[in-house]
Structure 1
């Protein structure tokens, strides 16, 4: 009996894990945060201490919104234009989690420190862009053009970069843990000190790529491809 009481007491004292919900409308996220006593992140995310899915579904139905848990594939925001991103960034906004920027043209833009985690950026043109210290965790950058981009110290954990053009990109000190870089073009890229642990590098072009000090622990790659890299 004593053990049962102790277990129940410890369970009550133990903090509950917060849930992060994403909505397909920024306005809906703001309203639902108020309705459910949650914390709005300023974009389309709501942080709540304990998720009551019935309450969330009811609130979403009232506002004609759809939602998902962070990291899921649905509840994508309506397409955001490049001009809107630049305008909102210029006035200090940095949080664009889950934004839909497929095929967007953002060449040569300065978006240092931007949060584009879980964003949809497949086929986007980000050539020569300044994305240093940007958060691109779990973003979809497949087939994107990032040639010449500045991604120094960027966060790219679990990011999908399959088939992307990374020629002459600077990824010094970037975190690419578990990222997918299969079939990417890394010609003359700088990955000095980058973390590529558990990354998928199969079929990547490493011609004249600088991998000095890079962490390749557990990474998947074809050794013959690395023969053309600078180490």
Structure 2
């Protein structure tokens, strides 16, 4: 009897773990946060102190949205138009986590300090853009055009850059640890002081690439690939 009382007592005293819900649009997340008294994260997530799935499903139905728990799966956002990015960036919004920008044309845009972590930017054209100090953690940049792009001090940890064009790109001090850089074209790129620890660099083109002071500890590469790099 004493053990039962203890279990019940601890259950009531123990704080409930917050639930993070992901929706397939930022608009739906904002509306549902208001409906259910949750905290909107400014993107497609809602933090709930206590999750009532019936209430969430009802709210999602009203807003014609789909949802999932963070960690259970990943809700894919509706495609974001370039004009929408520029409009929101102009009013100082920087949070575009998990945005769908596949094949987007963002050439020569000034987007420093933008947060595009977990975003889908595969096949996007970001050539000559300014993405310095941006957060691109775990973003999908496979086959993207990043030639001449300013990625100074950008966080690209765990990003997928396979097959991307990074010719003449500035990656000074960038964090590329554990990133996928297979078959990347780094011709003439500046990787001075970049962190490439545990990155996959197999098949990358390092011709005239500046690797001075770069951290290559644990990186996967074929030594012959570095023959024409500057170190």
User: TM over 0.5, yes or no?
Assistant: yes
Larger Rg, first or second structure (1 or 2):
2
Matches of residues 161-172 of structure 1 in structure 2 within 5 Å?
161-172=161-172
Q: Distance in 2 between matches of 1:193 and 1:111?
A: 22
Match of 1:45 in 2: 45
For the 8 Å contact 1:159–1:180, the answer to whether it is kept is yes
Q: Unaligned 5+ residue runs, structure 1?
A: none
Match of 2:114 in 1: 114
Q: Distance in 1 between matches of 2:41 and 2:21?
A: 10
Change (3 A) 1:170 1:9: farther
For the 8 Å contact 1:19–1:69, the answer to whether it is kept is yes
Instruction: Compute the TM-score of the two structures, normalised by the length of structure 2.
Output: 0.87
For the 8 Å contact 1:71–1:118, the answer to whether it is kept is no
Aligned length: 231
Match of 1:138 in 2: 138
Q: How big is the shift at 1:34? A: 2.6
Deviations 1:193-225 (A, max 9, x none): 111111111111111111111111221111111
Q: Unaligned 5+ residue runs, structure 2?
A: none
Cα RMSD (Å) of the superposition?
A: 2.8
Match of 1:176 in 2: 176
Instruction: Compute the TM-score of the two structures, normalised by the length of structure 1.
Output: 0.87
Match of 1:95 in 2: 95
Q: Distance in 2 between matches of 1:176 and 1:226?
A: 17
Matches of residues 1-231 of structure 1 in structure 2 within 5 Å?
18-49=18-49, 55-70=55-70, 74-231=74-231
Deviations 1:135-177 (A, max 9, x none): 1111111100000000111111111111000001111111112
Q: Distance in 2 between matches of 1:71 and 1:129?
A: 32
